[in-house]
Amino acid sequence: MLGTGTSSGVPAIGCDCPVCRSTDPRDRRTRPSILINLGSSGAGSGSDPALASAVRSVLVDTSTDLRAQALANDVRRVDAILFTHAHADHVFGIDEVRRFNAMQRSAIPIMAAPSTLAEIRRMFEYIFKPPPAHGGGLPKLVPFAIGGPFTLGGWEFVPIPLLHGPLPILGFRVGSFAYLTDCNDIPAASWPLLDGVRTLVLDALRDRPHSTHFSVTQALEIVARLRPEQAYFTHVAHDLAHEATCARLPAGVQLAYDGQMLEIHE
């Protein structure tokens, strides 16, 4: 879990609330992102030769805090990047990918829904249509449009269509793990895709309802229906103190925190 906070981060700039003033490191939340390290799985290869079967380290979103997250977690390799959607908190670290390009001496595939790719191309025109006299380096990214399940490093990744207010976005499932951030509804057609998920990371912004994110109560309803063995709430605002909130959540449900490592055995 590279980042588990909402878009403003926790602490929020200029806020004196108890969570922003907390000394519990789990109350410091950077912008939402995860890194998936794929274990050995039988080395299948992707159908696309550009997506080498050697893919091991998959980043989900390039958060505003990507540089700090990579340093804090000693991330040295990113083989592919998946995007859930193109909101600022999920994409504004995209320039930091230059460092991985340099270390790996290669371009890095980025994968997203066609609408998200179009938005990223528009937001970061300097990357995809660089001006002739551009100075510093540019991230080297190879876009792939997600049209259904795809294979990375021998693992099948299943995109999970979600609703983030009116905006359709993607969650991702790998094996029995699912990452569903930035959503306040799971469309009926997506439920079968989540059958058998045992480890769930799910959006839960705060207690009060919100127009584009699940509240804690709503997230608990999803957990009750899906019945994973473990659920971790992410995209958490400064309304929720880590320890006090975990103490009132049911068994098997907790707030995720930055730097948390989930080990998943298939």
Task: Give the nearest distance from C-beta 203 to Zn ion in angstroms.
Answer: 8
**Binding residues for Zn ion restricted to 10-29, rule: CB under 5 A:** 12, 15, 17, 20
Contact in structure between 80 and 40 (CB atoms under 8 Å): no
C-beta separation of 216 from 207 below 8 A = yes
* Closer residue to Zn ion, CB minimum distance, 20 or 264: 20
Rounded distance between C-alpha atoms, residue 231 and residue 197, angstroms: 10
Selected from 87, 173, 206, 242, the binder of Zn ion by CB under 5 A is 87
Q: Please state the closest distance from residue 12 (CB atom) to Zn ion, in A.
A: 5
| Smallest separation (angstroms) from Zn ion to the CB of 48 | 28
- Closest distance between Zn ion and the C-beta of residue 67, in Å? 18
For residue 257, give the nearest of 197, 201, 175 by alpha carbon: 201
In whole angstroms, how far apart are CA 46 and each of 6, 21, 61, 67, 153? 33, 46, 21, 28, 7
Q: For the chain, count helices (H), then strands (E).
A: 7, 12
Choose the binding region for Zn ion from 40-48, 66-74, 98-106, 178-186 (rule: CB under 5 A).
178-186
d(CA 28, CA 46): 37
With CB under 5 A as the contact rule, the residue among 182, 199, 206, 220 that binds Zn ion is 182
Least separation in angstroms between residue 168's CB and Zn ion is: 12
* Size of residue set near Zn ion by CB under 5 A: 8
Shortest CB 10 distance to Zn ion, Å? 7
Neighbouring-strand partners of residue 141: 108
- The candidate with the shortest Cα–Cα distance to 236, out of 4, 2, 3, is 4
In whole angstroms, what is the distance from residue 223 CA to residue 211 CA? 19
**49 upstream amide cis, omega within 30 of 0:** no
Contact pick of 159, 238, 254, 257 for Zn ion (by CB under 5 A): 238
Provide, rounded to whole angstroms, the least separation between the CB of residue 54 and Zn ion: 30
Q: Residue 173 or residue 213: which is nearer to Zn ion going by CB?
A: 213
Per CB under 5 A, 203 contacts Zn ion? no
Residues 37-56: x where in contact with Zn ion by CB under 5 A, - otherwise, as a string: --------------------
Q: Candidates 57-65, 123-131, 141-149, 230-238: pick the segment binding Zn ion (CB under 5 A).
A: 230-238
- Which segment (5-13, 123-131, 191-199, 200-208) binds Zn ion by CB under 5 A? 5-13
Do residues 108 and 97 lie in contact, with contact meaning Cβ atoms separated by under 8 Å? yes
Distance CA 254, CA 233 (A): 6
Strands 167-174, 57-60: pairing kind: unpaired
Binding site for Zn ion (CB under 5 A): 12, 15, 17, 20, 87, 89, 182, 238
